[in-house]
Amino acid sequence: MSITVIKPGLLSSFQDLGRFGHQHLGVPASGAMDSRAHRLANLLAGNTENEATLEITLVGPTLRFDAPGCIAISGAHLSPTLNNEPIPNNRPLIVRAGDILAFGARSAGLRSYIAWNGGIALPSVLGSRSTYLRGGFGGFHGRALRKGDVLNMLSTLDAGVLDDLEHELWKIKVYLPAILGLVPRTGIRVMRGAHTGLFTDASIADFFAGDYRIGPQSERMGYRLQGPQLSLKSSTQLLSEATSFGSIQVPPDGNPIVLMADRQTTGGYAKIGHVATVDLPSIAQCMPGETLRFTEIALSQAQQLDGQREDAFGRLHQTLAPLRALFER
């Protein structure tokens, strides 16, 4: 009932939807950078949406399955193979004892997510199994995978029914609405916030009209952007306040930072805006060196988009009821 890590990949860590309710204690939320792909992989593997998945970055791991199971891969297209044969994203896939899962060249996106039917045995730390790498807790021993690690699956499949189960799974048609797919966006949608009016009119205009290159220091804590520098109308001291996924802080150097999953718990820099939740996965799938543009939307529009995404997940959950039923036999 185990999986052996032959190669760990560039950065492979377990994440769920986050560790909430502890920011006042200085504990970041963490969680999947692309929650859309994380949730999708879990649904396709027959899990609940908050089961921990393995978030892999650019260079995927090589894993050997020592027992049969079912997996699903969503997010970036990193050329996954099973026993050297290409396999698709966004499908439930049967794996057998001795099978080798590996990844190759990137063709789209940056982060991919592997879900196992039944999940992986991981301890819950403050209500979450997400890995907080800087703190060294959560996930698998609080760190990224290493060569030789052994992961224990919480459930395995009966080897005698694998062929029939695989046939039944391939008969299930999976239709993904565009809002749940890996669709690059030319403009990231941003809402103004309480601090937007502190910036000069020229800076606000530049922010929504300029191109911003993702800097090389960008990672799970924040995406540092290089482009038109932004300035405040006057030197203003702000009280530190809680941060959120997608807040766009502007430090004194004028270069904005989009706060991501491992963001600090509080911050005192002025925020020029907030990325709409529905577009956070698009940023999480961008690499350093790529360019972002921002387009302004109202809070009501962001809420409508979020509702459309949740409706799409709800419909997909209903559509996949026959898949879940197969694992309950």
For residue 158, the model assigns a pLDDT of 84
Segment 265-324, tens digit of pLDDT:
999 999 999 999 999 999 999 999 999 999 999 999 999 999 999 999 999 999 999 999
Distance CA(236)–CA(232), nearest Å, equals: 8
- Bridge partners of residue 266, in order along the sequence: 242
- Going by their DSSP bridges, the two strands 108-116 and 69-77 should be labelled as antiparallel
Q: Are 99 and 83 in contact (CB under 8 A)?
A: yes
pLDDT of residue 11: 97
Residue positions counted in the chain? 329
C-alpha dist (Å) from residue 57 to 8, 51, 202, 219: 11, 19, 37, 10
What's the pLDDT at 46? 95
Phi, psi for residue 236 in degrees, rounded to 5: -125, 130
The per-residue pLDDT for 184 is 79
The DSSP-derived string for 179-203 is GGS----SSEEEE--TTGGGB-HHH
Q: Residues in the chain with pLDDT < 50?
A: none
User: What is the per-residue pLDDT for 287?
Assistant: 95
Q: Which domains does the chain have, with CATH numbers?
A: 2-180 (no CATH), 188-297 (2.40.100.10)
- Residue 14, judged by CB atoms within 10 A of its CB (0-12, 13-18, 19+), counts as buried
pTM of this structure: 0.95
Are β-strands 81-82 and 212-214 bridged in parallel, bridged antiparallel, or unpaired? unpaired
**C-alpha dist (Å) from residue 24 to 145, 242, 243, 258:** 29, 8, 11, 21
Do 1 and 126 touch, CB atoms closer than 8 A? no
The pLDDT assigned to 159 comes to 82
Q: Tell me what pLDDT residue 328 has.
A: 80
| pLDDT at residue 155, as a whole number | 87
CA distance 103 to 101: 7
